[in-house]
Chains A and B, each alone.
Chain A
Amino acid sequence: MRFTTFAAPSRFHRISGFVLPWLWAAAALCATAGLAVGLLHAPTDAQQGDAYRIIFIHVPAAWMSMVLYLALAGWAAVGWVWGVRLASMLARALAPTGLACTALALVTGAFWGKPTWGTWWVWDARLTSELILLLLYGGYLALVESIDDPRRADRAGALLAVVGAINVPIIYFSVRWWNTLHQGASITLGRAPSMADSMLLGMGLMTLAFWAWAFAIVFVRLRAIVLERERDTAWVRALGAGEAAAHRVAAMRGATA
């Protein structure tokens, strides 16, 4: 088995079809366990009361938003430099999920901030960086969606994503600087409470749940992209023909019933 074994879109389509139900199951399992631990079992925080329980969504979402962006840039670069089409398609499939996680992190951050800080939004370094990440995702999606030629779209997106990824540490550093620079106390969103074991366990489980969910959704989208782009290949036609044969059989059965 080589690195390129799974690079064929047809093989991916077959394997992902088999793996998907397990991914959904894993996501459901981890989410149930994580929510149970986080919402039912973990203790109330001394300072933030029960409002802190939002972190069980906010933190995994924020982590995923960053991980997915790096994955997007990485796979897009692989597709661009080595010409692996599936890698480019994977980058396209990752983007909407990354955007969703970023938006989710921002919104849950606001819901966390209101009871703990008093306002729906604070220009805290982390939230502001997350907002800029949202713009980076938005820019990427806007660019690739406005280019009709898939090859040009993939490559342009790859360049933009790589430039963005290189800039992310610079942006984060500058935003942290900015946050502490101006007169007045350094503004931070309510600190995550010093973590009891059960809180850590809940966060860990929810992180796993987000990972599994992200894999599943991205695979669903990637399967769609593969079918769209590989429409004229033999294996896709065979897939469609197989369906048509089944359709014919079902129609005949229905006629004789």
Chain B
Amino acid sequence: MADWIRWHDIDAFLAMGGYGLYVWGAYGLAAAALGLEGWLAHRRAQRAWRATRLPARRAADA
């Protein structure tokens, strides 16, 4: 297992040979962008779902 992983320790891994800022910056932005997109899509789906239930709910509560 230790052979499979290139890095000797966590610090080297985070430093990424001196390019840590760029590599982790890129990955971080990617995660943020994809997360935002996912959240927005989810919000739209929720709103649509709630709008579906609304008239039926009103009829049920009446």
Contacts and interface: CB of A to CB of B under 8 A. Distances in A.
Interface of A: 39-44, 49-51, 53-54, 57-58, 61, 96-97, 100, 103-104, 107-108, 111-112, 114-115, 213, 217, 220-221, 223-225, 227-228, 231, 236-237, 239-241, 243-245, 247-248
Interface of B: 4-7, 13, 16-19, 22-23, 25-27, 29-30, 33-34, 37-38, 40-42, 44-45, 47-49, 51-57, 59-60
Contact of B26 (A42, A112, A239, A248): A112
A104 B41 contact: no
Contacts of B60: 241, 244-245, 247-248
| Residue among B18, B40, B56 with most chain A CB within 10 A | B56
A139 to B, nearest CB: 19
Nearest to B18: A49
A213 B34 CA distance: 9
A228 B44 CA distance: 10
Given A96-B37, A104-B33, A224-B41, A247 B57 contact: yes
A57 B44 CA distance: 26
